[in-house]
A and B are shown apart, each in its own frame.
Chain A
Amino acid sequence: MRGVVSSVSSAAVLVFLAVMPAGSARLAAQVQPGMATNQGVSSTKATGVIVGRVIDAVTGRPISGATVSLSGAGTAPGTNPLAVVLSGGTRPPTPSVTNGDGYFLFRDLPASSYTVGATATGYITSAYGSRRPDSGGLRRTIVLHDDEHVIDVVVKMWHVATIGGRVVDDTGEPVVGTTVRVMRRDRGGRLSQAAIVQTDDRGIYRAASLTPSDYVVMVASTFLSMPTELVNTLRGNPSSPVLADLRRDAAAAFFFPEAPAIDTGDMQILMSSQIGGLPMPTPGADGHLRAYPTTFAPSASTVARAETIRLTAGQERSDVDIHLTLTPMFRVSGVVTGPDGPMSALGLRLLPADAPQFQSDLNIDVATTATGSDGRFTFLGVPPGQYEIRATRTPRPTAVARPEVQTIIATSGRVTGIVSVRGDMPQPASDGPTWWARQPVSVGNRDVSSVSIGLRTGARVSGLVQFDGVAPAQNDLSRLGVLLRPADGRTTSLPSPVPIDDRLSFVTPQVPADRYVVAVTGMPAGWNLASIRASTGDITDHPFTLDTDLDSVVVTLTKLTTTIAGTVTGAHAGDPDAVVVLFPADVRAWIDDGMLGSRVQTIDVRPDGSYQSQNLTAGEYAVAAVPAETTIDVRDAALFTALARVATRVSVGTGQTRTQSLTVSAIQEAGRP
């Protein structure tokens, strides 16, 4: 064990020596005010004051009317105070609104660690410590002692950027009341929804909540149809379990058999599918329905052809028009076969071939339908293009009511308010099999028939949870859940966490064959993940291909804390103005698997130059300090390749604390806005 040389009088000259094991670093944590944690400082006095200003980062002018909130350390700024209360946390102090000179004030505060967040009309949500308009996650921690007045807390805010334009059709007429989605394109090229707005009576839309980034703009079209014979078995009985199956299969809560429908004889096109607000299809002279297809600005049918709009802070683009063309729509039909022959009343989704470029595959269906009694299906309203048909039939969920507190207010005999707060408990998986299929299909200028889809069974993971030490009481395990997460980091409608039973074992639902990682949620207070092991080896944060059941997985939780900490030296003395990025050393594998954020930490360097990781899992990491202005996007492969070159490798075992001093390295940011 090697010692630590430290000086409490001047935090900036703290020096840690190389890597040291646990114990001494914890001692160091106790003697350094900058390292105090929320649990470490407690007081019954409430005499502290935090006062500061909110300013425009570009002009330096004060912003009045901004709402400023304080959060405990480790809680994101702007976190819903009710959510904090519900999860057992301490109620955050009452927010402050800035006065005409941009000043905010918090008084009567108990000694603790705080972060400061701010929101204001026309500005991007920001926090004390933010150096860039898009670094919302970066915030400085203020350690407040009894009777202390912390002043000069300056929160910089940047104007929102704006995208607007007109949506017009092939006759030049505005398309009114339609939904326009502004999708942020991350450094890995993946799209996630940044804003959703409606066109007005002039076809004009405006999305004004955008941070500097790349964007594409789209109008999505989707049609929901059902065989008439299936509608006939469901209309008038909203509690039918078959209806619940369909909604689960197709991730479509809007399957309403009673909805107004276009009757095409064998099929009904339900009006409830008008999610995008686009008109329903109209009959064309050639017998084919015609409709506006999903279109990306300016007039592209695929993500690849969409215009990328690059926005800087506060930039306003009002010329991003979208041109829609009434296009012939075709039918895609076939039959679905399960293990016992044709599969009836199965919900099916038709997704665009570029669906993997979307962070979430929800709400991008081109068409949704269901099979009839003979397993036959027909998608209506499909424009020419490349698609994938998806089928996923999960077993009916076990009837465990989600705990809920509900207040219903009735005034003058009418219900005037319903407020529900629902517990988020893991729900046990049902025993039944999951049937699934993915079938590519190509549509040209005619109907496609005879698509044959064979269903396969899914695979599941089961095992045990071990506690390194005395296991917590059963009651503290009610939120503990085990989850299979797609390895590419995308959001899907698929599995939710499963609970641990009395013998500490778990079984996930069956899932379609794919690459997954095992994740653990809702760990009891004070417990951390030590490892997840399968017979094939360590799968802690390691994606694996799941196509047959994986049994005897052992999840080990520990009370030990695994930490990488240290100090950062910058080019200047004093505040190093940097962030530390900590990520698995095997970064290539991570990039291939979609760069899950769960094991990548971006750590704000404190004014005294120190940094400390949060709840690490043992393993080999790369650690690098970069200027605070650097945009850290976990899907930015180029960034992480560059980071890996300047990073220091640190291997840390469960319960260990490794200390690593770092020097700030600027990295190339080619092509960055």
Chain B
Amino acid sequence: MTFVRARRRRRAIAAGIAAAAIAAMTITIAAQRGGGPPAPVRDNGVRPIVTGEAFIGGIVVTDESTPRPLRLASVTLRDPDRGVQRVSVTDERGTFGFSRLPAGHYLISVNRPPYVSVTYGARTARGQGLTIALENGQRLDAIRIAMPHGAAITGRIVDERGAPVSSPRVNLAVVEAIVIGPTSSYRRVYGQTIEPDDRGIYRIYGLPAGTYLIGATPGLSLLTRGASPRVPTDDEIRWATRTATTGPRVMAGPPPVGSATALAELFYPGVTDIASATPVTLAAGEERAGVDIAVRAVPVATIRGVVRTPDGAPARGAQVLAAPSTDRALADVLPSLPPLGLSAADGSFVIGDLAPGHYRLMSRASSAAGGAPVPARGSSPPGSDLWALADVDVAGADIDGVTLTLAPGMTVSGRVVFDATSLPPPEPATVRLTLSPPPSGGPALGAPATQAEADDTFAFKGIAPGRYVLIGNAGTTATVQPLWMVKTAMLNGRDVLDTPFDVTPNLDVSDLVVTFTDRVTKLTGLVSDQTGHPVPAYSVIAFSTDPASWHQQSRRVRMPVRPASDGRFAISGLPPGEYYLAVLPDFPPNEWSTPAFLQTVVPGAVRVTIRDGETTTQDVRLAG
């Protein structure tokens, strides 16, 4: 950890200049509509493309001893805070250029398979890129981006008999193993899974040099799941064929049924524990063949039961999902979908493919038409307003006779209020509210996000009892920098923004008042070396001094940001309070919000106080 010596300087600015400019623009739009009744001006979120006179250009070449220009590379330029996203494609000479740019902070990334995608200025393939601080009218035309050729891994997936296994029975995931300080972290490289072909052969390409694990998971054919298929035993076959020849009525002692199996989730070369997996370490552009995985079947169980409506009738068309309630080591890195069942007309459901473990059965249904998604004609359907939960232990044997009795969900309603000091309030349709179960407590039934209505009210319907945290956003989706932040969410005189609130059975929650403010806090500063020169190489993290707030969902732990080329950083929208600010050479991609990691950062951090609606400046000078 870099030692940080802080020089404290505070400055408060009432309202940002950018915010004032946007307010002026919105008023212009309203004026163009002209003539109508004097309705309050609301911001519909529309943000035209901003242009200017600056230019960024350069060349894309191969990362070889004798570099070659690369044509047809897609160069993407982004200023997320100002909503600028432009593409330029390199020509025969590998050159690209963006003209008519406004002043801003720009990130450049290049995509050109089979080369490794590159973010300009990033110190590692997955690292944060360097933001270029560009002034209006400035011309920057010597950006040079060298692309390393991607590495490839190929191999074959076979079963216990050596026969090829292909998609959809099995899919693969590539997991990068990243060791930073004491933390080992695993990050899935592709968003999508990799499908072995009909010969069981797979090929993963375009990988940066690094250390990788290959995981195999059963196919995610969510909708075709039912009871687990069984392989008949030899006894069963003998019994079935013999009794047939001796007449149809001979039913002497049928043998026990064969066991059901499903493919196990595992890692190359064939282990279920991620820590025992054999890593594949690749140099730049290396091709590694023969990374073969033998998949194997494990015994699985089936749960059968019935779903009933609140009045005891069979519920048809109710969804039943079995979510593993134990934290599996693989859950974060391997794609998985919980097994799903759907209740039939008699309310019965079947869920198969359950490996031993603890599961939470979760059911959702609509009160219309006995549970199925069939509404009464001419009326608006109530949606998924019924719920049921049950915890089940699976230990290999099938479980029959589970009864899930649906109960009506609750309504959580209220209104949004805009504490507007300089901006027109956003239109209700741009307000997005989410009720989220808190970070601890195993799998829980979530709720769809909702929007505010035209009269600024909102309602979540069919909410299952439990603890919830409210998350709110408002305004345009064209920019990342928020113009509005939630200030308070008051329920019965208590602010429930950082502390979860309880929804109890048979009791609707009303009068939840969510207040947004345009006085968005800002934490800015300069990262410099001992001589005062800006240092844009490291990332900056801000997090609450209160360890109770150290979790991924927290508003008070912000993902590290990298200062721009001028060494300046800006973090917007932190709630008022005490924070640690620290500079990091690198950070684990998934674990940066965990208490274990944050604790290691505290000794080198400085404390800053964020005040309501104010801009706080905290420069950081690095000591060697």
Contact surface of A with B, Cβ cutoff 8 Å: 47, 49, 51, 64-65, 67, 80-83, 85-86, 88, 90-92, 94-101, 103-105, 107, 121-122, 145, 147-151, 160, 162, 174, 176-177, 200-201, 206, 208-209, 228, 231-240, 258-263, 268-269, 271, 279-284, 400-401, 403-417, 419, 421-423, 425, 474-475, 477-478, 499
Q: Does B45 reach chain A (CB closer than 8 Å)?
A: yes
Across the interface, do B477 and A419 meet the contact criterion of CB distance under 8 Å?
A: no
Give A169 Cβ to nearest chain B Cβ, in Å.
8
Chain A residues within an 8 Å CB radius of B479: 236
Across the interface, do A201 and B89 meet the contact criterion of CB distance under 8 Å?
A: no
Contact surface of B with A, Cβ cutoff 8 Å: 44-49, 71-72, 74, 76, 78, 83, 85-91, 98, 100, 113-114, 150, 152, 159, 161, 163-166, 169, 197-200, 203, 205-206, 222-234, 236-237, 240-241, 243-244, 248-249, 251, 254, 257, 302, 316-319, 321, 323, 327, 331, 337-338, 340, 342-345, 348, 350, 352, 362-366, 368, 371-377, 380-381, 383-384, 429-430, 436-440, 442-448, 451, 469, 476-479, 551-553
What are 24 contact pairs spanning A and B, CB under 8 A?
A49-B240, A65-B163, A82-B225, A85-B342, A94-B302, A95-B226, A100-B161, A150-B244, A151-B240, A236-B478, A280-B87, A403-B373, A403-B383, A404-B384, A406-B383, A409-B321, A409-B445, A409-B446, A410-B437, A410-B444, A412-B439, A417-B338, A419-B340, A477-B377
Contact A97/B231 with A260-B78, A279-B89 known, Cβ cut-off 8 Å: yes
Give A187 Cβ to nearest chain B Cβ, in Å.
26
Across the interface, do A408 and B445 meet the contact criterion of CB distance under 8 Å?
A: yes
Residue of B nearest to A404 (CB): B373
Taken together as a complex, chains A and B put the C-alpha atoms of A174 and B115 apart, in Å, by 12
Contact A411/B323 with A235-B48, A236-B476 known, Cβ cut-off 8 Å: yes
Across the interface, do A235 and B372 meet the contact criterion of CB distance under 8 Å?
A: no
Chain B residues within an 8 Å CB radius of A284: 91
Taken together as a complex, chains A and B put the C-alpha atoms of A474 and B378 apart, in Å, by 11
Taken together as a complex, chains A and B put the C-alpha atoms of A328 and B131 apart, in Å, by 35
Across the interface, do A411 and B442 meet the contact criterion of CB distance under 8 Å?
A: yes
Contact A259/B85 with A51-B240, A405-B366, A406-B364 known, Cβ cut-off 8 Å: yes
Chain A residues within an 8 Å CB radius of B198: 121-122, 160, 162, 206, 208-209
Chain A residues within an 8 Å CB radius of B78: 260
Chain B residues within an 8 Å CB radius of A206: 197-198
Give B230 Cβ to nearest chain A Cβ, in Å.
6
Across the interface, do B85 and A82 meet the contact criterion of CB distance under 8 Å?
A: no
Taken together as a complex, chains A and B put the C-alpha atoms of A261 and B205 apart, in Å, by 27
Across the interface, do A405 and B249 meet the contact criterion of CB distance under 8 Å?
A: no
Chain A residues within an 8 Å CB radius of B199: 122, 208
The one of A51, A100, A149, A237 in contact with B248, judged by C-beta atoms closer than 8 angstroms, is A149
Across the interface, do B469 and A413 meet the contact criterion of CB distance under 8 Å?
A: yes
Taken together as a complex, chains A and B put the C-alpha atoms of A474 and B45 apart, in Å, by 44
Give A355 Cβ to nearest chain B Cβ, in Å.
27
Kindly name the residue among A88, A148, A201, A401 whose own CB sees the greatest number of chain B CB atoms within 10 A. A201
Taken together as a complex, chains A and B put the C-alpha atoms of A400 and B375 apart, in Å, by 11
Taken together as a complex, chains A and B put the C-alpha atoms of A95 and B225 apart, in Å, by 10
Across the interface, do A99 and B231 meet the contact criterion of CB distance under 8 Å?
A: yes
Residue of B nearest to A160 (CB): B198
Chain A residues within an 8 Å CB radius of B197: 206, 208
Contact A81/B229 with A235-B48, A409-B443, A409-B444 known, Cβ cut-off 8 Å: no
Q: Besides A122-B164, A478-B374, 10 other CB < 8 A contacts?
A: A99-B232, A121-B200, A176-B113, A235-B83, A237-B46, A261-B86, A405-B373, A405-B384, A406-B384, A413-B440
Taken together as a complex, chains A and B put the C-alpha atoms of A419 and B225 apart, in Å, by 13
Taken together as a complex, chains A and B put the C-alpha atoms of A86 and B233 apart, in Å, by 32
Across the interface, do B477 and A105 meet the contact criterion of CB distance under 8 Å?
A: no
Taken together as a complex, chains A and B put the C-alpha atoms of A82 and B225 apart, in Å, by 8
Contact A151/B444 with A233-B46, A236-B83, A405-B365 known, Cβ cut-off 8 Å: no
Contact A416/B443 with A147-B251, A151-B244, A200-B203 known, Cβ cut-off 8 Å: yes
Taken together as a complex, chains A and B put the C-alpha atoms of A271 and B75 apart, in Å, by 11
Taken together as a complex, chains A and B put the C-alpha atoms of A85 and B350 apart, in Å, by 11
Across the interface, do A410 and B446 meet the contact criterion of CB distance under 8 Å?
A: yes
Across the interface, do B444 and A94 meet the contact criterion of CB distance under 8 Å?
A: no
Chain B residues within an 8 Å CB radius of A419: 222, 319, 321, 337, 340
Give A56 Cβ to nearest chain B Cβ, in Å.
13
Give A148 Cβ to nearest chain B Cβ, in Å.
5
Across the interface, do A408 and B231 meet the contact criterion of CB distance under 8 Å?
A: no
Across the interface, do B49 and A232 meet the contact criterion of CB distance under 8 Å?
A: yes
Kindly name the residue among A99, A400, A413 whose own CB sees the greatest number of chain B CB atoms within 10 A. A413
Chain B residues within an 8 Å CB radius of A65: 159, 161, 163
Across the interface, do A237 and B476 meet the contact criterion of CB distance under 8 Å?
A: yes
Contact A235/B439 with A121-B163, A403-B383 known, Cβ cut-off 8 Å: no
Across the interface, do B85 and A147 meet the contact criterion of CB distance under 8 Å?
A: no
Give B8 Cβ to nearest chain A Cβ, in Å.
34
Taken together as a complex, chains A and B put the C-alpha atoms of A414 and B241 apart, in Å, by 52
Chain A residues within an 8 Å CB radius of B321: 407, 409, 417, 419
Chain B residues within an 8 Å CB radius of A422: 373
Across the interface, do B86 and A263 meet the contact criterion of CB distance under 8 Å?
A: yes
Across the interface, do B380 and A401 meet the contact criterion of CB distance under 8 Å?
A: yes
The one of B89, B164, B165, B169 in contact with A262, judged by C-beta atoms closer than 8 angstroms, is B89
Kindly name the residue among A97, A107, A412 whose own CB sees the greatest number of chain B CB atoms within 10 A. A412
Residue of B nearest to A104 (CB): B232
Give B326 Cβ to nearest chain A Cβ, in Å.
11
Residue of A nearest to B374 (CB): A423
Across the interface, do B372 and A86 meet the contact criterion of CB distance under 8 Å?
A: yes
Chain A residues within an 8 Å CB radius of B338: 409, 417
Contact A81/B87 with A282-B71, A403-B368 known, Cβ cut-off 8 Å: no
Chain A residues within an 8 Å CB radius of B337: 417, 419
The one of A238, A240, A423, A474 in contact with B373, judged by C-beta atoms closer than 8 angstroms, is A423
Chain A residues within an 8 Å CB radius of B551: 413
Taken together as a complex, chains A and B put the C-alpha atoms of A410 and B389 apart, in Å, by 13
Contact A236/B45 with A121-B169, A122-B198, A405-B318 known, Cβ cut-off 8 Å: yes
Give B523 Cβ to nearest chain A Cβ, in Å.
24
Counting from the closest, the 8 A-B pairs by CB-CB distance are: A236-B478, A201-B114, A408-B446, A413-B439, A201-B205, A232-B48, A105-B232, A236-B476
Residue of A nearest to B439 (CB): A413
Chain A residues within an 8 Å CB radius of B302: 94
Chain A residues within an 8 Å CB radius of B316: 88
Chain A residues within an 8 Å CB radius of B553: 413-414
The one of A122, A174, A281, A408 in contact with B89, judged by C-beta atoms closer than 8 angstroms, is A281
Taken together as a complex, chains A and B put the C-alpha atoms of A200 and B342 apart, in Å, by 38
Chain B residues within an 8 Å CB radius of A83: 223
Taken together as a complex, chains A and B put the C-alpha atoms of A99 and B235 apart, in Å, by 12
Residue of B nearest to A69 (CB): B229
Give A225 Cβ to nearest chain B Cβ, in Å.
12
Taken together as a complex, chains A and B put the C-alpha atoms of A94 and B437 apart, in Å, by 35
Taken together as a complex, chains A and B put the C-alpha atoms of A91 and B226 apart, in Å, by 9
Taken together as a complex, chains A and B put the C-alpha atoms of A201 and B286 apart, in Å, by 13
Taken together as a complex, chains A and B put the C-alpha atoms of A280 and B445 apart, in Å, by 42
Contact A408/B71 with A91-B348, A105-B232, A148-B248 known, Cβ cut-off 8 Å: no
Contact A239/B384 with A279-B89, A409-B338 known, Cβ cut-off 8 Å: no
Residue of B nearest to A428 (CB): B378
Give A166 Cβ to nearest chain B Cβ, in Å.
13
Across the interface, do B231 and A260 meet the contact criterion of CB distance under 8 Å?
A: no
Residue of A nearest to B319 (CB): A407
Chain A residues within an 8 Å CB radius of B368: 403
Across the interface, do A99 and B384 meet the contact criterion of CB distance under 8 Å?
A: no
Chain A residues within an 8 Å CB radius of B244: 49, 51, 149-151
Give B241 Cβ to nearest chain A Cβ, in Å.
5
Taken together as a complex, chains A and B put the C-alpha atoms of A474 and B90 apart, in Å, by 62
Chain A residues within an 8 Å CB radius of B371: 405
Residue of B nearest to A99 (CB): B231
Across the interface, do A107 and B236 meet the contact criterion of CB distance under 8 Å?
A: yes
Give B460 Cβ to nearest chain A Cβ, in Å.
11
Across the interface, do B477 and A236 meet the contact criterion of CB distance under 8 Å?
A: yes
Give A445 Cβ to nearest chain B Cβ, in Å.
20
